[in-house]
Amino acid sequence: MKYFDNHIETIDNGRANLRDISWRHTSDQALVASNCFAEEFVPSTNLFTYETATNVLRGANEGRSDLIGIDWRPDDAYALVVGYDVVWHNGLIARFRENRLSPIKFENSRVYPVAVRWDPKSTAAAIATANTQAGTGNGQLTLWDGERFTPLYNSNQFFFSRVSWAPDGSKLAGIGSTATRTFNC
């Protein structure tokens, strides 16, 4: 839905479960993350672009990964997109740049990234994970500096749904609980 001029308007073409949205800072474009099966277990669009000028939601990627979190770098160089492959249960962290999604290599077996947020200076992205069911993974907070991952927190009891930076980048906070599951994010 779009809110403007004191009213709400529905935007069509998002057939799947839409999960997160991130506006590109210097344009009127937003990216929208989604699950990968709109119907009948046939892979469908899992990433959309939205342009305010045309008021249209368009498919930007298709595959078998549920995309759950998304955030544009503050300098708009690219967006980070996180989720997991629903067939192999491997995590996905990818760059979206020039209308293309490119996976970033990391230890991803039974890792379920669900949230990502860039610090205000574009130096690091915080990535948070959840799990699909008890005993299948850990809740983690990790920093990615564009080249390597640095673990901050790891727990088999607490799982995350969101992460956010303070406006000056000096603090990081995550929302987590013992009951958070990937499919609820």
Residue-wise pLDDT tens digits, 58-77: 999 998 899 999 999 999 99
1 contacts: CB under 8 Å, gap ≥ 6? 8, 9, 10, 11
Say how far apart CA 168 and CA 38 lie, in whole Å: 39
Cα separation, 146 vs 99, whole angstroms: 19
Handedness of CA 129, 23, 81, 153 (dihedral sign): negative
What pTM was computed for the model? 0.91
Q: Which domains does the chain have, with CATH numbers?
A: 2-184 (2.130.10.10)
* Nearest Cα residue to 64 out of 98, 21, 35: 35
What does the pLDDT average to over 117-128? 96
Helix (H, G, I), strand (E, B) or coil at 112: strand
